[in-house]
């Protein structure tokens, strides 16, 4: 049930069909205010037009002729010929996340601190470095273990040329 505000007076209740009839007859316009239970305030009929329009009014409100999109017209001026520039090849240099290790530093660390495995920590071989450190610290008092560790260090000085990430040592 709807109530209308006509000339400042509340009238009604009306059915939606009654309001549609009054709109068709011109008794009220889309600026007329209405209210129904559950609404917070009065609204114009035009704001809620979908409630009161008949299917005939909705069809009349939509244009009957179809819209024709304008066709593309080429420009009426001459464009200068486009110049083609050849691009120079781009030189890409590899980016190292870690600074490169030097072979000289690796060899010097192996000679002076090799028993502690410092050269392997420097090159990123943490497991080897821990093994050499533990063998030297816990078994230094035996003769055979320090000799074996030094042979291991000499072999590494001669053969290792890459760090743990596979980057060549400079």
The pLDDT of residue 107 is 94
What's the rounded Cα separation, in Å, for the pair 58 and 51?
A: 11
What's the rounded Cα separation, in Å, for the pair 65 and 84?
A: 48
Question: By the 8 A CB rule, do 23 and 10 touch?
Answer: no
Which residue reads 């002729």 in tokens? 65
Residue ranges for the chain with pLDDT beneath 70: 49-67, 75, 79-87, 94-97
Q: What is the DSSP letter of 114?
A: G
The pLDDT of residue 128 is 94
The pLDDT of residue 133 is 93
The pLDDT of residue 63 is 54
> pLDDT digits over 112-138, tens only?
999 999 999 999 999 999 999 999 999
Give the chain's domains with CATH numbers. 2-59 (3.30.1490), 103-159 (no CATH)
What's the rounded Cα separation, in Å, for the pair 2 and 33?
A: 10
Neighbour-count burial of 167, counting CB atoms closer than 10 A to its CB (0-12 exposed, 13-18 middle, 19+ buried) = middle
What is the pTM assigned to this prediction? 0.43
The pLDDT of residue 95 is 63
The pLDDT of residue 151 is 95
């Amino acid at each position: 049930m709807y109530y209308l505000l006509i000339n400042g007076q509340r009238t009604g209740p009306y059915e939606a069909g009654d309001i549609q009839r009054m709109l068709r007859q011109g008794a009220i316009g889309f600026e007329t205010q209405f209210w129904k239970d559950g609404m917070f305030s009065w609204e114009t009929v035009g704001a809620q037009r979908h409630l009161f329009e008949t299917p005939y009014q909705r069809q009349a409100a939509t244009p009957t002729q179809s819209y024709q999109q304008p066709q593309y017209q080429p420009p009426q001026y001459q464009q200068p010929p486009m110049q083609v520039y050849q691009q120079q090849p781009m030189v890409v240099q590899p980016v190292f996340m870690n600074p490169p290790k030097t072979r000289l530093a690796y060899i010097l660390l192996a000679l002076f601190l090799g028993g502690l495995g410092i050269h392997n920590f420097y090159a990123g071989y943490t497991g080897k470095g821990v093994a050499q450190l533990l063998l030297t610290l816990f078994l230094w008092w035996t003769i055979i273990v320090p000799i074996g560790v030094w042979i291991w260090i000499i072999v590494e000085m001669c053969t290792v040329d890459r760090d743990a990430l596979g980057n060549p040592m400079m």
